[in-house]
Structure 1
Amino acid sequence: MMIRRILIGLFLGIVVTSCTHNDGYIGPLFGKWQLIEMWENGTMTPHDSLYYNFQSSVIKLQLVHRGGIENTTENYFGSYVRENDILKFKIMEPSWFEFKPDLSVFKLEMDKEYTFYIEKLTSSKMILTRGEDERFVFRKF
C-alpha cells in the first residue's frame, strides 16, 4: 500500500512538472493565434482560416479549408526565435508531402527565414509588421 502511494505521488509529480516551460513562465506569445486582418500597401484583407501556433521554439502554421460539415487542415512546422520585439521564423518543407506546399496565402515560402517586428503583443492581440507595407493582425484563439 505504501509503495502504491509513492508511485502515485511520483506519477502526479511528473505530470505536474512536465507541463512547465521556463519555470512556468511561457510568455504572451505562447499558444494559438488566428490571423484576422492582413494589410498590404494600405489594403486590408480579412481572414479567418489562418492560424499561427507557438510553443517552446516550434511554430506551426495552420490553413483551415472550410467545407460545410467537414473541414480539412494543412499544417506546416518550423522554428522561431524571439529577440525583444523581433520575431524570426523559418518553415521547413515536410518530407511527407508529394508536392511542394503552397504557402502563398501566408505570404511565405518554404526554407526561407522571415523577420517580423512585433508592433503589439498582449494576452489577446498581436500585431506583426514586415517592412513598411505589410501588417498582420492576430487575435488569441
Structure 2
Amino acid sequence: MPLHPIRHIIESCDRAISAKDYDALMDHYAEDAALVIKPGMIATGKENIRNAFMAISDYFQGQLVVEQGEMQIIEGGGNALVIMETLLRFPDGQGGMAETTRRATYVFRQEHDNRWRCTVDNSYGTSLLDPESA
C-alpha cells in the first residue's frame, strides 16, 4: 500500500525545519493556519508561523532536529487528522543533546489545487489538556 501523500509532506516539513528552510516549510501551510508554539501561545497566519519557527530555531541555537515516528492519518470531508509521534533532538544546555517524543496532532485540508496544506500544527497533541501544561 502506498504511503499517504501527507506523510511525504510531513517528512518534507521536518527536513525544512531542521535545515531552517522556511520558504519550503511555509509552502505546506494554509494562509489561515494556526501553530501551537507552546501551551497557551498560538501563532496564526503564515507570516506569524514563519516568525515563530525562526524564533524556535534561535531558541535551540539552530540545532533543533525534527523527525516523525508512528503516524495515523484519518481523512474525512476534505480534511485529514494526523496523529503521530514527533521526535525532537535539541541542545540540553550542558553541551549535549536531549531527545524527547511528543504525540502530536495536525489537521490538513485539501485545497482547490488538490494539495494538502496544514491548517493546525499542534506538536503538543493532547498533552495540552494536562494540568502542568497550563
Q: As a proportion of its length, which structure holds more strand?
A: 1
* TM-score in same-fold range (> 0.5): no
TM-score under structure 2 normalisation?
A: 0.38
Q: In terms of Rg, which structure is larger?
A: 1
TM-score under structure 1 normalisation?
A: 0.37
